Amino acid sequence: MTMELFDAHTLVMSAVLLIHIAGVIIVSVSAVVLVMSTLAVVLAVRGVRATWAWGRHSTFGPANRFSKVA
């Protein structure tokens, strides 16, 4: 009775299913990491651009030291 539960076909199919599930998990985690890193880069670039624009357009920055509005 127990030999019928562990025949070669069942073992191979179980191994294939296990490897398939592991592959799906790896691909899913990779996709999540890729999306998170892309979001982090986009937010960092937007922050740098906003900071750069704020520094360039501020009235106290070195870019406006020769301004007539002082």
Residue whose entry in the numeric block shows the structure tokens 């999540």: 32
Any domain includes 65: no
Indicate whether 69 belongs to any domain.
no
Res 70: pLDDT: 47
Domain count, the chain: 1
Average pLDDT over residues 18-35: 98
The domain of 43 spans 2-55
pTM value is 0.59
Whether residue 52 has pLDDT greater than 80? yes
Residue 64 lies in a domain: no
pLDDT in tens, 57-70: 765 555 555 555 54
Would you say residue 21 lies in a domain? yes
Burial class (CB in 10 A: 0-12, 13-18, 19+), 20: exposed
State which of 17-21, 47-51, 64-68 shows the largest mean pLDDT. Answer: 17-21
Q: What is the pLDDT of residue 25?
A: 98
Residue 66 lies in a domain: no
> Does any domain span residue 26?
yes
